[in-house]
A = this chain, B = another copy of it.
Amino acid sequence: MNSAPQFARVTVIGLGLIGSSIVRAVKQLGLAGESVATDASPEVRSRAVELGLADRIAATNAEAVKDADLVIVCVPVGACGDVAASIGPHLKAGAIVSDVGSVKGVILREMAPHLPKTVQFIPAHPVAGTEHSGPDAGFAELFINRWCILTPPPGADPSAVEKLAEFWRALGANVETMAADHHDLVLAVTSHLPHLIAYTIVGTADELEDVTRSEVLKFSAGGFRDFTRIAASDPTMWRDVFLANKDAVLEMLGAFQEDLSKLTRAIRRGDGEALFEHFTRTRAIRRGIVNLGQETASADFGRPHADLPKKAPEK
């Protein structure tokens, strides 16, 4: 429990799934003396007022960051540079500036040049989300038991890093620190490549000649529907991720293609032993993820089932 706010004023720029979840948690936990938020879209700002997301909804980035002690930029990676330029001249000396982007190398390159030397810039990436987008999709519990990766640039003030880490731990996250380029390689595997594959296969199924779209939808419970969740993620966010992490994604794609060729060859040759060996190995990985608390142990992600009627009474 927090007895006093961690920051006098926290500002969130961008009220999509992540930004609106952060500001909800800040309010619920009382982490800020005042919470301020803004969004480039007037409709989103109005909706944020209706939802009571923050203590104050500002009309511009400049106004939003005034006197803030912690500023978190929650916009698609491709827009982070422009946002940094818009807030740079208005930041309070000593403020911590952070973000939530899924790619970290490019964030440093595009945001840092616009920020004054008097602030501490500590990029961050909470590895959490859902397939839904926008200010209504957020919820305060999103980060509980998820990891938040901090990628402080060389020379960052350790006390600022620790303060930001404490903030994320208050939101329920586990915090890890690593170099930006290593982050981008790790996330290329655990997030970017899976999204690319899911986007691909869902598109493939949608364009077949011999199988109708209605058949694809009806019989999707055989596995396909799992992929549609990821392929329903925000298109702008993901376009930016692939453009910003091109090299690491292409490297991982190369490894994936090699493995897919191996399994394809095993199928073509009828090599059941190779298939069985591979499928047995992958089964163990999920157990590791469940044991680490990063996945539910319930069958089928815990998807709900209706009840069957009871047996008629015996005569």
Known: A141-B308, A229-B226. A235 touches B189 (CB 8 A): no
Inter-chain contacts of A60 with B (CB < 8 A): none
A296 beta carbon closer than 8 Å to chain B: yes
One digit per residue, 1 when the CB lies within 8 angstroms of any chain B CB and 0 when it does not, for chain A 161-202 equals 000000000011000100000000111011111111111111
Q: Mark A242-274, 1 if CB is under 8 A from B, else 0.
A: 110010011011011001100110011010100
User: Given A28-B311, A303-B301, are A267 and B285 also a contact pair (CB < 8 Å)?
Assistant: no
A 119-144 to B, binary, CB cutoff 8 A, 1 in contact else 0: 00000000111111000010111101
Interface residue SS majority, chain A: helix
Taking a contact as CB atoms closer than 8 A, the residue among B145, B203, B218 that contacts A292 in the complex is B218
Alpha-carbon gap, A263 to B292, bound state (A): 33
Interface contact A198-B223, CB-CB below 8 Å: yes
Question: Contacts of A147 on B, CB cut-off 8 Å?
Answer: 218-219, 221
Number of identical monomers bound together in the oligomeric complex: 2
Q: Out of B171, B185, B246, name the residue touching A268 (CB < 8 Å).
A: B246
Contact across chains for B226 and A211 when beta carbons are under 8 A apart:
no
Find A301's partner among B176, B202, B229 (CB 8 Å cutoff): B229
Q: Which residues of B contact A309 (CB under 8 A)?
A: 1, 29
Give residues in A with beta carbon < 8 Å to B: 1-3, 25, 27-30, 78, 102, 127-132, 137, 139-142, 144-147, 149, 171-172, 176, 185-187, 189-208, 210-211, 213, 215-233, 235-236, 238-240, 242-243, 246, 249-250, 252-253, 255-256, 259-260, 263-264, 267-268, 270, 272, 275-276, 278-283, 285-289, 292, 294-296, 299-312, 314
